[in-house]
Structure 1
Amino acid sequence: MTSSGAGDRASSTLKRAAERGSRRTGLRAALFLGLAAIAAIGTAFLFTRYLEAKASAARLPTAKVVVAAVNMPSATALRAESLAVIDWPAASTPEGTSSDAAALVGRVVTSAVSKGEPILESRLAAPGTAAGLAAILPAGMRAVAVRVDDVVGVAGFLHPGDAVDVIVTMKPSDASTQPPMSKIVLQNVRVLAVGKEVERADRNFDKAMPATVATLMVDGEQSEKLALAATKGQILLSLRSGADDDMLSTPGITPPVLLAGGREPERPAAPATATPAPGPKVTPVSSRHRARAPVVEVRPAPAEKQTVEILRGDVFERRDFEKESRQ
C-alpha cells in the first residue's frame, strides 16, 4: 500500500507539471500571434498611406516646361540637343517658361543655366541676336578690351563677372614738368570676359586664370576715359568685393604727397619784401595837364620837441618846447 500510494502521488505531480507547461506554451504562442497581428496591421496602415500619397501626387495637374538638358554658360545659343521637355507642377510653374523647345532653338542665354533649370524668357536675348558678348550687353553699354598681365590682372585671379576699379598713372601732359599722378578713373566696372573665357565652365574661382586681355563693360563716357588711360598712361585693375557697391571720391596722389605720408608737402616761405620808406606825396593832375610834369607836394618834417619837467613843492608840471634847429 505504501509503495503504490507513493507512485500515485508521483504520477499526479508529473501530470500537474505537464499541464502547467502546456498552459505556458499556449500563452507564449498567443502573445507572439498578437504581436504579429499588430505588426501586420501597422504595416498595412503605412502601406495604405503611401499608396494614397502616391495617388494624390499623381492626381496633381502638371504642365510641359522646357528645361536645360546640359549646363550652359552665358552667351550660348540654344540647340535642340541641349533642351528637354518635362512635366512640371502647374501650380509652381515659374513665370516666363515655354512648352515648345523648337521655338527656343537659336535663342541666346544672357546668364549661365544649370542642367534641369527651366529656360525663362527673362534670361534670353532678343530673337535674332547672335551668340557672343553682344548678346549679354545691356542697352547703352559697351565692351572694351584692355591689355593685362599678371600684375594688372590681379595675378590671374580675375574672372568673368567680377567687379573692378580702374587706376591710371600718368602725367597731365607729355610736356609737363609736373610729377605723374595715380588716380581711380572708373569704379565698379563689370568684367565680361578674361581672355577668351566669357564664363568659367568649372566654376573654380580659387585658381588663377592667366590671360593677356580683359574685356570690361562700360558706357560711352567711360569707354573714352578707359581708352585715354590705356593709351597715355599705365592702368591697374583693382578687384572689388562682391558685396561692395560704394563709390569713392579720391583726389589722386603724386610722389611728393606719397612721400609726405599722404599730406601736401610744406612749401618754402616766400622771402619777405622790404617796405619802402615813405616818400613825398604825389598829387594827381587832371587830364588837361597830363603832358606836364606831376606836381610834387613837399611837406615839412615835423619839428622836434623838448620836454621840461618842473617840480614846485608838491606841484608837478610838464612843458613841451619846440627845439630850435641848428644851422
Structure 2
Amino acid sequence: MKRTRGLTMLVIALLAGAAAVLLASILMRAQAGGTTKVAVAAADIEIGARLSPEMLKLVEWPPNSVPPGSFSDANGLEGRVVKTSLSRGEPFIEAKLAAVGAKGGLSAVVAEGKRAMTVRVNDVVGVAGFALPGNYVDIMVNTQNEGTKRVDQDKTISKIVLERILVLAVAQEADRDATKPKVVNAVTLEVLPAEAELLDLARSVGTLSLVLRNQIDPKPGATEGATKLSLLKDEPARPASAPTVVVKRVAAQRPAAPLAVRNFECVEVIRGTVKTNECF
C-alpha cells in the first residue's frame, strides 16, 4: 500500500513538472508575441542575380529581431535582382535589392546617377590583383604637361586625378566576397559622368595606375603631383664623366723666426810659409 502511494506521488510530481514547463513555455511565447515569417536565401546568391522560387524560403524569426526592410512573403521577391552577394540563410532586405523591374546583371548594381566604365590593366596597374569588387581605388595618370618643348625642362608628371572610385567587377566577375588576389586585364569602375570623361581623357594622354586605398578612409589626398624636379628635390644632376674633386683644408704654418746675425772677427795667421785666416 505504501509502495503504491509512493509511485502515485511520483507520477503526480512528474505531471506537475511537465505542466509547469509547458505553461512557462506558453507564457514566454505569449510575452514574446510568437514568431513571424521572414524570407531568407535558400542558397548562396551572387551579386546581380535574378531571384527565382528555388532561391527563396520562409523561416520562423523572433519578432523582436526581425531586420528592418525584410519580407514576410516570398512571392513579392520573385524576379528581383540582388545588389550584393547573399549567404545561405541571410534575410532579404530592400536595401540589398535593385529597384522593381531592373534587369539582372552588372547594370542593376550601378548606383543611381553613376556609370560603369572599364579600363585595361595589367598585373602592375591592377595592384597585383588586389583591386577586387567592392574595393575603393584612386586613379593616377603619368603624362606630359601641355606645350612641352625640347629646350624646356622635362614636364613629365604623375598625378592622382580621381579618388575613392568603387571597383564593380574584375574581368567578368563581380563577386564582392572574394578575397583571393586575381590578376586580370580589365577592371570595371563605378564613376560619375564627369569622372568618366576625365578617366577617358586620362587613359588617352598617359599611363594609368590604380592605387588601392582603405575601405573606410574618406579623406581626400590633396597633392600637386610629382615631377622629375620634385623627385630629385630640385638639385641639378652632376655629369657622369665629371671627376670628383676633393679639397682638403690645410692649416697655415707660421714662418720660422729669422736667425740672429752674428758678427765674426778674423785674423791672419802665418805658420812658416803658410798664411791662413781664422775667424772667431
Instruction: Please report the TM-score for the alignment, with normalisation by the length of structure 2.
Output: 0.71
Tell me what 1:285 maps to.
Answer: none
Distance in 2 (CA, whole Å) between partners of 1:142 and 1:112 is 20
Q: Are positions 1:142 and 2:115 aligned together?
A: yes
Q: Are positions 1:238 and 2:211 aligned together?
A: yes
Alignment of 1:238-257 (within 5 A): 238-257=211-230
Tell me what 1:277 maps to.
Answer: none
**The one of 140, 158, 162 aligned to 1:167:** 140
Q: Are positions 1:71 and 2:44 aligned together?
A: yes
- Give the deviation of 1:49 after TM superposition: 6.4
Identity %: 38
Tell me what 1:88 maps to.
Answer: 61
- Give the deviation of 1:179 after TM superposition: 2.5
Tell me what 2:85 maps to.
Answer: 112
- Give the deviation of 1:54 after TM superposition: 3.9
* Amino acid in the other structure paired with 2:201: L
Distance in 2 (CA, whole Å) between partners of 1:256 and 1:72 is 52
* Amino acid in the other structure paired with 2:161: V
Query: In structure 1, the residue corresponding to 2:226 is in which secondary structure?
Result: coil
Instruction: Please report the TM-score for the alignment, with normalisation by the length of structure 1.
Output: 0.61
1:164-191 deviation digits (Å, cap 9, x = unpaired): 1111000124865442110010111111
* Amino acid in the other structure paired with 1:107: R
* Amino acid in the other structure paired with 1:134: S
In the alignment, structure 2 segments of 5+ residues that lack a partner are 1-8, 237-280
- Give the deviation of 1:231 after TM superposition: 1.4
Write 1 or 2 for the structure with the bigger share of helix: 1
Tell me what 2:167 maps to.
Answer: 191
Distance in 2 (CA, whole Å) between partners of 1:46 and 1:149 is 71
1:90-132 deviation digits (Å, cap 9, x = unpaired): 3332232222212211101112222212211222111110112
Mean Cα deviation higher: 52-61 or 222-231: 52-61
Distance in 2 (CA, whole Å) between partners of 1:153 and 1:116 is 34
Q: What RMSD, in angstroms, separates the aligned Cα atoms of the two structures?
A: 2.7
**Contact 2:148/2:155 (<8 A) preserved:** no
Mean Cα deviation higher: 82-91 or 144-153: 82-91
- Count how many residue pairs are aligned between Structure 1 and Structure 2: 222
Structure with max Cα Rg: 1
- Give the deviation of 1:83 after TM superposition: 0.3
Change (3 A) 1:259 1:95: same
Q: Are positions 1:121 and 2:94 aligned together?
A: yes
In the alignment, structure 1 segments of 5+ residues that lack a partner are 1-36, 267-327
Higher relative contact order (CA 8 A, sep 6+): 2
